[in-house]
Amino acid sequence: MRLHRRRLLQVGALGMAGSLLSAPALWAQNSSNVIRIAVSAGGPRSVDPNQTTQGADNWSTEQMFEQLVRPRDGQFATTDDEYVPTLATSWEASDDGLTWVFQIRQGVQFHKGFGEMTAEDVVHSFNRARFDGVNTAVMGNIADVQASGDYEVTFTLTGPDPLFLGSTVFQNGASIVSKRAEEEKGEGFNTDSIGTGPYQLDRFDIENGVFLSRFEDYWDGPANIERVECLYIADTTAQTLALISGDVDIIEAVRAPGWVDQIRQRDSSLLVDMTNPGSFMTLHFNLNVAPFDNPLVRKAIATSISSEIVANAMAPMGQPTFTLSPPEYPTGWAHDELPEELRYDHDPEAARELLREAGFPNGIEFTANTSQREDYRSSMLIVQELMRASGINMRLNIMDHSAYHGSNRQDQNTLALHAASFPPVALDYMMRYLSTGAEVKPDGSGGTNYSHYGITIPGVDDELAAMQRATTMEEYTEIGRGIELKLQEDLPVMGLMTLGFTAIRNPRVDLGYEVESGYARWRFHRATKA
Amino acid sequence: MARYILVRVLDSIPTILLVLTLVFLAMRILPGDPALAVLGDNAHPETIARFREQFGLNDPLWLQYLNFLRDVFTFDFGNSLVKNAPVATLIANNLPYTLELTLAAMVIGITFGIPLGVMAAVRRNKWQDNGFRVFSLVGYAVPDFYLGAVLLLTFSLSLGWFPINGAGTDFASRMHHIVLPALTLAMLKMAFIGRLTRTSLLEVLGRDYVRTARAKGASERRVVYRHGLRNALLPLSTGLGLSILSTLSGSVAVELVFNRPGIGRLLIEAITERDYPVIQAGVVVFASVVVIVNLLMDLVYVAVDPRIRVQ
């Protein structure tokens, strides 16, 4: 075989042309008929709302699916009477709170000609969420769900739940999907899902994003904008440049100190949409590790940290919290509401005194793991500095995000920061963080009670059980607030702050409503674009 | 020749196997749980347990390794743990972008690097040579990700000449999108190839047969290009092989900066998400490319140097 340079060049040129032709087409031009949002992830995983495990995917499912009830756009509903009829027109609970009957909206069409939504579809959607979803636990209170008519569905609960709409019905997994479509598409439903929302799926591109078009038969009238494109741009610099250049209309903000100010300095016309509260940032003391087994040490640490200072450093996204629940939630306590001895106001000298009292006149030293993710790292670095002033020297072991949570789940941390987004359903996050059943285990099979609360020291299992039995919102809230006070006394965990979900928006796009609270995603069905 | 190629391919199998084994072990030794990475840190324990069972993450390590080897030898890398797609599809979708970027960078690097090297050699110790030396120092010293960001800010954001993100839709748009990423990678190539050309050419230009050519009255152009450069190509071809491989690995950072799809970006995401099948398949692809490029370079030796005969 003889090879010549010319032949080599020809082969190289052919190879390049071949590679150019074989790769799929990517984005089209941005225009006034399309809203483009850049989300912080490498690529979509699923558009089946019952299977999504990546927050970024929720931006597309939010446009494609609906639940029986929803809060008002841009808000969290903190009590059940704040939910508005969506795919259900009305509902009624029995006196014992164990039976809920929903009247289903008639004439609602599924995308792509999959017909009218009926009670069968609702029952099917809830059953798949109960038995085959990524969050089956939140459906645990449903004992049975039946179609009691063509447009009527009856739920039987194992226990009363005055927040049933928030805890169970308004969940991603409880989005209503077409039973026929799922049966026909099988596993393909993951990436070709059929819902009733204002936008339907056009293209699911695993490398680049999810492309949606307006659903003309949407029951509440067609959306204003023709298309929505959820583009996946993992690199935050690339995202920012895409927004500034006008390639995209909305980006998710980086939750780092000064980031919002920086981008607004670059372009002051950009708009900031932010939820309050956002994710809970909580500090969990490992009660099995000395010196955190000493309540005075925990109080010293709480006194050495200022929630206001940490929240201010993360402004405008950070908001101070004084209990596990943020003050905006029914079970949360505002600073001035708390008994003075349970406020733990920032006082480095008082923290030193508490350490002396605990038998540590020279202060304490310990190592804690944290994630390299910006919100974790920044928060822990600020906490580290605040504690240092009280003689508390925390050595930080910064690791990648997956490794960090792996170490937490294997009980390898001492003072664990955890960020999580929770709706105003106190029982949900209290069960996760405080119940003995959720205790973290060294083999990784346990839950997120990183403190061993209720095992190492007496906990709140009885109170949580009472909360599960509560039949009214008042009773539920009262027990929850009592738990918060006990937590302030025991300090297995402390609220550090909440970090609002923030998106930066091109002023050409008007959402049609104000974003005030809610999950880290918002709908575009009322949006307009200049 | 066919036998030679076969022997070379067979020779490379133990190397690839070793690399794969190291990657397999490294991913499992590193802290971090794919179940948590995929399902999120708030996932319920039962959901995590179901995931681990479904993807065989609870199997003993030796069984996971045997399954992995079976997949490699049957070219069935299974499904991504994270994305709803077969790994082969992910690789097939991304590889063309990385190849086109590598090829474009190499074309630019060779097109400009060789003439620059020739100029520096011919004008040795003159201002052209000194200028090239400064250029090559800068080319070596500036990291890809930094140069990429500077080019992006200058030519895309400020001047608006090139797109910010992605890889384009049609052919013209693809060409438009590739300019800055390719230039970023090509800077180092130009510096490297230019220096290599200069050194090699200077050595050749001092040889007896070049002096003889000059004594016979051959024009300087003919001496440099016909007698000098042709003979300087042999060491250059070795350097080109290394350069292709470094371009391929350099594409990782450039794909991230320019938000281009590609194998590098795919691998980085897979590592972050502990997506074992994608990481393993990506390493197979990279290792195979290394073997293929090395083999091609050996063949290029044959093409450019008729003295070499395959034994």
Q: In the predicted model, what is the mean pLDDT of chain A? A: 91
Contacts of A446 in chain B (CB under 8 A): 45
Pairwise pLDDT comparison (A313 vs B37), residue with the higher score: A313
Question: Nearest to residue A55, comparing CAs of B42, B261, B262?
Answer: B42
Buried b / exposed e across A20-59, counting CB within 10 Å, b at 16+? beebeebbeebeeebbbbbbbbbbbbbbbbbbbbbbbbbb
In a mutational test of the B interface, the residue from A10, A19, A135 whose CB has the highest number of chain B CBs within 10 Å is A19
Window 412-441 of A, Cβ < 8 Å to B: 418, 420, 432, 438
In a mutational test of the A interface, the residue from B44, B81, B89, B144 whose CB has the highest number of chain A CBs within 10 Å is B44
CATH architecture of the region A27-43+197-274+502-530? 3-Layer(aba) Sandwich (3.40)
Window 253-282 of A, Cβ < 8 Å to B: none
Do residue B124 and residue B46 come from a single domain?
A: no
A25/B contact by beta carbon, under 8 A: yes
Confidence of residue A24 (pLDDT cuts 50, 70, 90): very low
Residues B264-276, mean pLDDT to the nearest whole number: 87
Q: Helices (DSSP H) in B142-258: which residue ranges?
A: 144-151, 171-205, 208-215, 220-222, 230-257
CA distance B139 to B187: 5
Do residue B31 and residue B102 come from a single domain?
A: no
Question: Nearest to residue B198, comparing CAs of B137, B129, B140, B139?
Answer: B129
Is position B130 within any domain?
yes
Instruction: Determine the distance from the C-alpha atom of residue B48 to the mean position of all C-alpha atoms in its chain, rounded to a whole number.
Output: 37
Encoding tokens for residue A470? 């509560």
Is position B18 within any domain?
yes
CA distance A19 to chain B (A): 5
B32/A contact by beta carbon, under 8 A: yes
Confidence of residue A184 (pLDDT cuts 50, 70, 90): very high
Do residue B130 and residue B226 come from a single domain?
A: yes
Question: What's residue A251's pLDDT?
Answer: 96
Residues A38-49, mean pLDDT to the nearest whole number: 90
Q: Which residue does chain A place closest to B301, by CA atoms?
A: A3
**Percentage of residues in chain A having pLDDT higher than 90:** 76
Is position B219 within any domain?
yes
Cα distances from A423 to residues A167, A413, B238, in angstroms, run 8, 26, 61
Question: Nearest to residue A520, comparing CAs of A195, A61, A33, A176?
Answer: A61
Neighbours of B19 (CB within 10 A): 15
Question: What's the count of helices (H) and strands (E) in chain B, helices before strands?
Answer: 13, 0
Window 119-148 of A, Cβ < 8 Å to B: 134-137
Q: Which residue does chain A place closest to B80, by CA atoms?
A: A45
Do residue B56 and residue B133 come from a single domain?
A: no
CA distance A418 to chain B (A): 9
Q: Do B171 and A20 touch (CB under 8 A)?
A: yes
Contacts of B160 in chain A (CB under 8 A): 245
Do residue B33 and residue B120 come from a single domain?
A: no
Instruction: Determine the distance from the C-alpha atom of residue A48 to the mean position of all C-alpha atoms in its chain, rounded to a whole number.
Output: 17
Residues A109-137, mean pLDDT to the nearest whole number: 94
Q: Is the pLDDT of residue A53 over 90?
A: no
**Which of B84, B103, B304 minimises the CB distance to A45?**
B84
Do residue B138 and residue B255 come from a single domain?
A: yes
Q: What is the pLDDT of residues B158-189, one digit of tens each?
A: 888 988 888 887 888 888 999 999 999 999 88
Pairwise pLDDT comparison (B45 vs A511), residue with the higher score: A511
The dihedral built from the CA positions of residue A34, A39, A45 and A46, taken in this order, carries a sign that is negative
Pairwise pLDDT comparison (B275 vs A217), residue with the higher score: A217
Q: Which residue does chain A place closest to B154, by CA atoms?
A: A241
CATH superfamily of A66-194: Dipeptide-binding Protein; Domain 1 (3.90.76.10)
> Which residues are within 8 A (CB) of A530 and not within 5 positions of it... i.e. 6 or more apart?
A32, A508, A509, A510
Confidence of residue A126 (pLDDT cuts 50, 70, 90): very high
Contacts of A4 in chain B (CB under 8 A): 303
Residues B121-140, mean pLDDT to the nearest whole number: 88
Question: What's residue B40's pLDDT?
Answer: 78
Window 333-362 of A, Cβ < 8 Å to B: none
Q: What is the pLDDT of residues A368-401, one digit of tens each?
A: 999 998 999 999 999 999 999 999 999 999 998 8
Q: Which domain holds residue B39?
A: 2-73
CB B111 within 8 A of CB B183: no
Q: How many domains does chain B have?
A: 2
Last residue of a domain, one of B38, B73, B108: B73
Do residue B94 and residue B68 come from a single domain?
A: no
Strand partners, A392: A364
Q: Do B30 and A444 touch (CB under 8 A)?
A: no
Q: Helices (DSSP H) in A23-137: which residue ranges?
A: 58-64, 119-132
Confidence of residue A331 (pLDDT cuts 50, 70, 90): very high
Q: Do domains A27-43+197-274+502-530 and A279-499 have the same CATH topology?
A: no
CATH class of residue range A279-499: alpha beta
Do residue B35 and residue B101 come from a single domain?
A: no
Is position B311 within any domain?
no
Q: Is A308 exposed, middle or buried (0-12, 13-18, 19+ CB in 10 A)?
A: middle
In a mutational test of the A interface, the residue from B5, B48, B83, B289 whose CB has the highest number of chain A CBs within 10 Å is B83
Contacts of B170 in chain A (CB under 8 A): 25
Do residue B182 and residue B290 come from a single domain?
A: yes
Least confident segment among A86-90, B17-21, B217-221 = B217-221
Q: In the predicted model, what is the mean pLDDT of chain B? A: 85
Is position B81 within any domain?
no
- What's the whole-model pTM score? 0.82
Question: What's residue A364's pLDDT?
Answer: 97
Confidence of residue A252 (pLDDT cuts 50, 70, 90): very high
- Amino acid B59 reads D
- Amino acid A232 reads Y
Question: What's residue B232's pLDDT?
Answer: 81
CA distance B246 to A98: 66
CA distance A314 to A257: 5
Residues A126-131, mean pLDDT to the nearest whole number: 94
Do residue B8 and residue B45 come from a single domain?
A: yes
Last residue of a domain, one of B48, B73, B98: B73
Last residue of a domain, one of B73, B104, B122: B73
In a mutational test of the B interface, the residue from A232, A402, A432, A450 whose CB has the highest number of chain B CBs within 10 Å is A402
Domain boundaries, chain A: 27-43+197-274+502-530, 66-194, 279-499
Q: What is the pLDDT of residues B76-98, one digit of tens each?
A: 888 888 887 889 999 998 999 99
Q: Is the pLDDT of residue A269 over 60?
A: yes
Question: What's residue B309's pLDDT?
Answer: 57
Do residue B114 and residue B238 come from a single domain?
A: yes
Do residue B200 and residue B265 come from a single domain?
A: yes
Question: What's residue A295's pLDDT?
Answer: 96
What was the ipTM of the complex prediction? Answer: 0.74
Pairwise pLDDT comparison (A133 vs A354), residue with the higher score: A354
CB A54 within 8 A of CB A266: no
Q: Is the pLDDT of residue A12 over 90?
A: no
Q: Is A349 exposed, middle or buried (0-12, 13-18, 19+ CB in 10 A)?
A: exposed
**Which of B104, B265, B303 minimises the CB distance to A4?**
B303
Question: What's residue A10's pLDDT?
Answer: 55
In a mutational test of the A interface, the residue from B93, B150, B161, B259 whose CB has the highest number of chain A CBs within 10 Å is B259
Question: What's residue B234's pLDDT?
Answer: 77
B235 SS3 class: helix
**Which of B31, B100, B266 minimises the CB distance to A16?**
B100
